[in-house]
Structure 1
Amino acid sequence: MDKLKKVLSGQDEANSDGTGILERANEASTLAWGTRMKGFAVCFVLGIVSSILGSCMLWVPRVGLAVFAVLYSVGNLSALASTMFLIGPCRQLKTMFAKERALATVIMGVCLALTLCAAFWWKNNGLALLFCVLQFLAFAWDGVMKLCSMCF
C-alpha cells in the first residue's frame, strides 16, 4: 500500500533518475528483434500497398479522389509507423522533431490534414494532388536535402 501511495504522489524511487513516462514506457515495451522486423515489414508493405492502391483509385470517377487521399495518407502514416518498430517510438519522435527535421515533420502533418480537407470538404482535385506532392517531399526531406547538397 505504501508503494501505491508513493507512485500516486509522484515520490516513486523508479522515477528518481529523471526519466520521463515516455522513456519508461519505451523500456517496458521492448520487443525481440524478430518481432521488430516483422512489425517493420508488415507496416512498410502495408504502406506501399496502400499508396499504390490509392494511386490506382485516383482514376475512379466521383469517389476516386477521396479514396486516393485517404489511402495515400494512410500509406505515409504506415511507413512512418514501420520505422518505429526498428528504433522505438521515443527515439522516432525525438528524431522527427530534431532541429534539422522539425520543419519537415510539421509540413508533412499539415499537408496530410490539408490533403484530407481538400478531398472531403473542399472537393478540389488540384489542391489534393498538390498537398500529396508536398506530403511526399516532406516525407523524403532528408534524401532531397542530401541530393541537393551533392548537386550544388
Structure 2
Amino acid sequence: MDKLKKALSGDDDEEQGIVTQISDASTLSWGTRIRGFIICFILGVSLSILGSCLLWLPKNGLILFAVFYTLGNILSLTSTCFLMGPCNQLKKMFASTRIFATILVIVMLILTLVCALALKNAGLTLLCCIVQFLALTWYSLSYIPFARDAVKKCFEGCIS
C-alpha cells in the first residue's frame, strides 16, 4: 500500500537515496528485534561459557578458549544491533563518552586472538582475556547513566 501511495503521489525511490531504501527494506518488528537480540545474546554467552570450559583441555585448550570466548563476546556485542539498528549502534559505540572503551574492546578482542593463535602464549592470552572482560564491562557500564561514576567512586572509597 505504501508503494502505491508513493507511486500515486509522485515520490520516487531514487530520490530517497540508497540508505533510506535499505532501511525501509530491512526494518524489523519490535518482537523480531527482541527475539533476535535474545537469541544472539544467549548464543554469545554460550560460546563464552563453552570457551571457558575448553580452557582446561590439554594441548589446544587455550586456543579453543580464546577463539570461543572472543567470538562469544563479539556475538553478545552485536546482539544489541537488533535493538537499536547497526548504524545507530556504531554511532553510539564511537560517541565521545565511550570512544576509548570501544577502541580498547576492539584492540583486546584482536590481541586475545593474536596471543592465542599466532603467539601461542598462555599467560598473555589469559591476560588479554581478563583485560577484554574488564574493557567490555567498562563499555557496557557506559550505557547505564552514572554507572561508571559510581564504579569510580566505589574504587576510590576502597583505596582511601
Unpaired segments of 5 or more residues in structure 1?
A: 1-11
The CA deviation at 1:150 is 4.2
Partner of 2:3: none
1:148 paired with 2:151, answer yes
Deviations 1:53-97 (A, max 9, x none): 100000101100000001001111110111110111011101100
Q: In structure 1, what is the Cα distance between the partners aligned to 2:130 and 2:22?
A: 35
Q: In structure 2, what is the Cα distance between the partners aligned to 1:150 and 1:116?
A: 33
**Kept after mapping to 2: 8 A contact 1:26/1:89:** no
Q: In structure 2, what is the Cα distance between the partners aligned to 1:135 and 1:95?
A: 19
Question: What is the number of residues matched between the two proteins?
Answer: 136
| Structure number with higher relative contact order (C-alpha < 8 Å, ≥ 6 residues apart) | 1
Q: In structure 2, what is the Cα distance between the partners aligned to 1:68 and 1:148?
A: 29
The CA deviation at 1:25 is 3.0
**Kept after mapping to 2: 8 A contact 1:40/1:85:** yes
RMSD, matched Cα: 1.8
Q: In structure 1, what is the Cα distance between the partners aligned to 2:111 and 2:23?
A: 31
Unpaired segments of 5 or more residues in structure 2?
A: 1-13, 142-146
Q: In structure 2, what is the Cα distance between the partners aligned to 1:117 and 1:26?
A: 35
1:37 paired with 2:34, answer yes
Question: Which of the numbers 101, 104, 109 marks the counterpart of 2:98?
Answer: 101
1:81 paired with 2:81, answer no
The CA deviation at 1:140 is 1.2
Give the share of equivalent positions with the same residue, in percent.
50
Partner of 1:14: 16
Partner of 1:123: 120
Question: Which of the numbers 52, 61, 64 marks the counterpart of 2:58?
Answer: 61
Question: Which of the numbers 120, 133, 136 marks the counterpart of 1:139?
Answer: 136
Q: In structure 1, what is the Cα distance between the partners aligned to 2:152 and 2:60?
A: 41
The CA deviation at 1:24 is 5.2
**One-letter code aligned to 1:116:** L
**One-letter code aligned to 1:63:** N
Q: In structure 1, what is the Cα distance between the partners aligned to 2:57 and 2:131?
A: 23
